[in-house]
Amino acid sequence: MTQISGVYSFCAGVMLQLIVGFATVAPPITAQTTAAPHLETSKPLTGTYKVSGSNGTTCLLASMGLQLNITFISVSQNKTVQDVVNLQPNGTQSSGSCFSSNASLLLTTDGGKTNLTFHFMLNTTSSKYHLSEVSLLAVWPDMKGDFSASNQSLDYLRGTSGHSYMCRSEQNLYVNSNLSINTFQLQVQPFGLTGEQFGAAEECQLDEDDMLIPIIVGAALAVLVLIVLLAYLIGRKRSHAGYQTI
């Protein structure tokens, strides 16, 4: 029985190391987006934004919380500073345009002092779309001059026409050295929208990685139980063999 107990302890130790190893491995960072850094500020509220086409129907739909990480020259401090600003949905107006292969979403706050634009492109051959450009124009009280940042060669938020792109995880969209955007509970569909509802969601890699770890841990526990059960049955069989009638 001492040997059986040793088998149990060995199996349990090996599987525990495997489980801890799987659970502590950080999910891989994809080329599309990266996990957003932990910032000392509250998370933004989630807002729903729409763009209407020429016929008055909704052609672009987005639901997301947005947080701007911005670097600018401060007048009061007379130096370059970094600031984090949450976009408030109740004070944000949405507009934009939709065409066969491109669409845009313009978010305006503070009476026009902040203008954030997202541009999406659609490959009509593959029916795949992506976020290709982001630009920000801002005039804030402590800024030394108008702030402008843009990038026209992005490749974020990939999806299929008729489907929405979803990412519940916090992610960071890098625009340039002066601007990046944290997104929260993001779901967007710029093409192939039917009515006022999102199409079937295509989830981001970050969400899939978050779901993968519990599955791996569960599978490891199942294997552990199986190994212990087999060890018990083998040990019991050997024990009965040792008491055969002479």
What's the whole-number mean pLDDT along residues 203-216?
Answer: 66
Instruction: Give percent above pLDDT 90 in the chain.
Output: 63
- Provide the number of structural domains found in the chain: 1
Indicate the pLDDT class of residue 186, thresholds 50, 70 and 90: very high
Q: Can you give the residue range of the structural domain that contains 135?
A: 41-207
The answer to whether position 171 is within a domain reads yes
The answer to whether position 120 is within a domain reads yes
- Say whether pTM exceeds 0.75: no
Q: What is the mean pLDDT of the chain?
A: 83
The answer to whether position 28 is within a domain reads no
The answer to whether position 213 is within a domain reads no
The answer to whether position 78 is within a domain reads yes
What CATH number has the domain bearing residue 176? 2.40.160.110
> Which pLDDT tens digit goes with each residue over 117-176?
999 999 999 999 999 999 999 999 999 999 999 999 999 999 999 999 999 999 999 999
Give the least confident one: 31-35, 43-47, 112-116, 126-130. 31-35
Residue 207 is predicted with a pLDDT of 75
The answer to whether position 109 is within a domain reads yes
Neighbours of 163 (CB within 10 A): 18
